[in-house]
Amino acid sequence: MDAVALTDIVKTFGRLRALDGLSLNIRAGTIYGILGSNGAGKTTMIRLIAGLLAADSGEARVLDDPPGRPAVLARTGYMPQTPALYEELTVHENVAFFAACYGRRDPAAADSAVEFVGLSDRSDSQVRTLSGGMRQRVSLACAIAHDPAILLLDEPTVGVDPALRVQLWGRFRDMAARGATILVSSHIMDEAERCDTLGLILNGRLLAEGSVAEIRARTGAADLEGAFLALAGSVDEPA
């Protein structure tokens, strides 16, 4: 079953075609990585799935419903690129507030999300006193405290140290094993290698899709970075 199904999605901002006939499907319970250079359309796609943007044309389905429906929103977790947090509230207050917005009012939900991101010892600190990486982790905790069926992560590990990054990916894997679908946009290639499926997007279109091994095999590149550059380059070159 597909958790996300996008068919021929077009989204323009003025003259810019951010998504230009994008189609892709994400199987439930998998981790899907979106790779692409800056301005390729990654964030637009995630915001569209989150229900923050409406497509100009094409069809989008998330958990079998159009994105933005209350039933879909209740089961979606979204972590934006910049940590959107209340600076004057503590870590726990932020997480508990967003969990409650999703109907999870028990403090245990917030506690376990804070623990998940390794910030239990800073639970009572105001967000404004935290480093950039820590804020990023609080933002992630806000996105997962309500135990969403689909988790949208826009560059989630920017500013997170390597040890914690490994730990977080272990947790993402656990969530996926329990049936959650995770969509991650990233620049970081070693992070992309942890995904079940990768989608490469360029100029708002899906350039290539498959497992890491499939993508490498298609280009003959030794690593993912080489494969990505080869695929992007084949489009850039004039026909």
| Residue 44 touches other proteins, criterion: CB under 8 A | no
Binding residues for other proteins, rule CB under 8 A, total 21
Residue entry with tokens 């979204």: 78
| Residue 129 touches other proteins, criterion: CB under 8 A | no
Give the sheet arrangement for strand 197-202, strand by strand.
76-79, 150-154, 181-186, 31-35, 197-202, 205-210
| Residue 85 touches other proteins, criterion: CB under 8 A | yes
Residue pair 1/166 in contact (Cβ under 8 Å)? The answer is: no
Residue pair 92/104 in contact (Cβ under 8 Å)? The answer is: no
Only segment of 76-84, 109-117, 155-163, 211-219 that touches other proteins (CB under 8 A): 76-84
Residue pair 25/5 in contact (Cβ under 8 Å)? The answer is: yes
Only segment of 11-19, 84-92, 161-169, 218-226 that touches other proteins (CB under 8 A): 84-92
Residue entry with tokens 């290639």: 189
Q: Which secondary structure element, helix H or strand E, spans residue 144, and what is its range? A: helix 132-144
| Residue 86 touches other proteins, criterion: CB under 8 A | yes
Name the residue nearer to other proteins (CB basis): 54 or 166: 54
| Residue 41 touches other proteins, criterion: CB under 8 A | no
Tokens of residue 63, six digits: 């958990």
Q: What are phi and psi of 185, to 5 degrees?
A: -100, 145
Distance CA 122, CA 112 (A): 13
Between residue 146 and residue 185, which ones bind other proteins under the rule CB under 8 A?
A: none
- Smallest distance, Å, CB 71 to other proteins? 8
| Residue 101 touches other proteins, criterion: CB under 8 A | yes
- Smallest distance, Å, CB 80 to other proteins? 6
| Residue 46 touches other proteins, criterion: CB under 8 A | no
Residue pair 182/143 in contact (Cβ under 8 Å)? The answer is: no
52 SS3 class: coil
Name the residue nearer to other proteins (CB basis): 51 or 156: 51
Identity of residue 205: R
Name the residue nearer to other proteins (CB basis): 73 or 164: 73
- Residue of 62, 142, 192, 195 that binds other proteins (CB under 8 A): 142
- Smallest distance, Å, CB 179 to other proteins? 20
